[in-house]
């Protein structure tokens, strides 16, 4: 499975990439690190990720707008929002727009790995469902 | 002067202590929380968040370069050049302000962080007289959170 990391913070992009590698998540390959929504859409079209971690507070296109943009070009993407915004309304809005999970910052590496595994499990279940058709 | 209540000030204290407790092996110790008169405390690196919507004002986190290098070491981040120190201080400010929305809700609209190295006029112009200052120590390093929030006029 291919993962795209979207966050305007360089240290968060690096942390997510490092934590993902250290968690030894089999079958998960990072195919892009995007600093903003435009880069995310571009990488999504070229590298066709299965999973995305998505920051919400970014300059230019914000994370909610970026979820819309990504799902327009790749409707089957599974998106984990990784954001400091801790109000319920924002989490609900992100989920309504098509995100599959919401992880609050600050997050531990272990919690990130758990959230990614949940996201990957969802994708595998969907593949199994499609295979059985 | 900030319109904040003691309960609201506690939200920001909890946000900053939670940040260090969650991400590092050493908790942050709050040394003082007070209404700042006169000089607004700051250190070499500052992440400034502008607040709009139902509230107006700003939140900033300020600390030393040594503190940020130590924090990046905790994250196993090998690149500790200035760009990443600024990135880190901005991310901390963003996390503290974002976490405060658990209490204030979506109406606390927060900007992306502006990051500053040095003694900036930008801070002086952003903060009104008498904001709340939360002084803390983490791993023998000093830092401050400044919170200047007021309910916007209707």
Please list every residue in chain B whose beta carbon sits closer than 8 Å to the beta carbon of residue A66: none
Asked whether the beta carbons of residue A83 and residue B98 sit closer than 8 angstroms, the reply is: yes
Residue extents of the structural domains in chain A: 2-108
How high is the pLDDT of residue A131? Answer: 47
On the CB side of B20, how many CA atoms lie within 13 Å of its CA? 24
* Among candidates B23, B84, B100 on the partner chain, residue whose Cβ is nearest the Cβ of A106: B23
* Among candidates B87, B90, B99 on the partner chain, residue whose Cβ is nearest the Cβ of A86: B99
Rounded distance between C-alpha atoms, residue A109 and residue B45, angstroms: 26
Return the bridge partners of A103, or none.
A82
Q: Which residue of B has its CA nearest to A87?
A: B102
Q: Give the gap in angstroms from C-alpha A85 to the nearest C-alpha of chain B.
A: 4
Please list every residue in chain A whose beta carbon sits closer than 8 Å to the beta carbon of residue B76: 18
Q: What is the pLDDT of residues A112-126, one digit of tens each?
A: 999 999 999 877 666
Q: CATH assignment of A2-108?
A: 3.40.50.2300
Q: CATH assignment of B6-151?
A: 3.40.1550.10
Q: Sorting pLDDT into bands at 50, 70 and 90, what band is A130?
A: very low
**Alpha helices for chain A (secondary structure H):** 10-22, 37-47, 63-73, 88-96, 109-132
Residue identified by tokens 């904001």 is: B131
How high is the pLDDT of residue A126? Answer: 60
Per DSSP bridges, beta strands A2-6 and A29-34 are parallel
Q: Tokens at residue B3, please?
A: 């319109």
Residue extents of the structural domains in chain B: 6-151
Of residues B129 and A41, the one with the higher pLDDT is A41
- Cα of first residue to Cα of last residue in chain A, in angstroms, is 21
* Among candidates A85, A86, A108 on the partner chain, residue whose Cβ is nearest the Cβ of B22: A108
How high is the pLDDT of residue A133? Answer: 44
Q: Would you give per-residue pLDDT tens digits along chain B (154 residues)?
A: 456 788 999 999 999 999 999 999 999 999 999 999 878 889 999 999 999 999 999 999 999 999 999 999 999 999 999 999 999 999 999 999 999 999 999 999 999 999 999 977 777 777 777 899 999 999 999 999 999 999 887 5
Mean pLDDT calculated for residue range A38-57: 98
Rounded distance between C-alpha atoms, residue A104 and residue A83, angstroms: 5
Asked whether the beta carbons of residue B112 and residue A107 sit closer than 8 angstroms, the reply is: no
Asked whether the beta carbons of residue B104 and residue A87 sit closer than 8 angstroms, the reply is: yes
Q: What is the pLDDT of residues A67-76, one digit of tens each?
A: 999 999 999 9
């Amino acid at each position: 499975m291919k993962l795209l990391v979207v966050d305007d913070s360089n240290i968060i992009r690096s942390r997510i990439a490092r934590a993902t590698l250290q968690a030894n998540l089999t079958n998960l390959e990072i195919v892009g690190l995007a600093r903003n929504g435009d880069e995310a859409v571009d990488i999504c079209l070229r590298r066709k990720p299965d999973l995305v971690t998505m920051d919400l507070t970014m300059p230019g296109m914000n994370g909610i707008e970026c979820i819309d943009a990504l799902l327009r070009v790749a409707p089957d993407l599974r998106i984990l929002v990784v954001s400091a915004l801790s109000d319920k309304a924002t989490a609900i809005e992100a989920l309504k727009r098509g995100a599959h999970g919401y992880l609050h910052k600050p997050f531990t590496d272990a919690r990130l790995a758990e959230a990614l595994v949940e996201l990957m499990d969802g994708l595998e279940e969907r593949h199994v469902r499609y295979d059985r058709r | 002067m900030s319109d904040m209540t003691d309960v609201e000030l506690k939200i920001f204290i909890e946000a900053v202590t939670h940040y260090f407790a969650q991400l590092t092996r050493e908790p942050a110790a709050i040394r003082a929380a007070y209404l700042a008169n006169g000089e607004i405390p700051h250190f070499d690196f500052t992440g400034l968040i502008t607040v709009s919507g139902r509230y107006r004002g700003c939140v900033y986190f300020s600390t030393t370069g040594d503190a940020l290098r130590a924090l990046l070491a905790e994250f196993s981040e090998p690149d500790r050049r200035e760009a990443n120190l600024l990135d880190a201080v901005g991310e901390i400010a963003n996390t503290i302000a974002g976490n405060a929305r658990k209490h204030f809700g979506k109406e606390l609209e927060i900007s992306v962080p502006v990051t500053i190295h040095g003694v900036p006029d930008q801070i002086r112009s952003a903060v009104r007289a008498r904001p709340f200052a939360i002084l803390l120590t983490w791993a023998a390093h000093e830092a401050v959170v400044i919170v200047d929030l007021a309910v916007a006029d209707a």
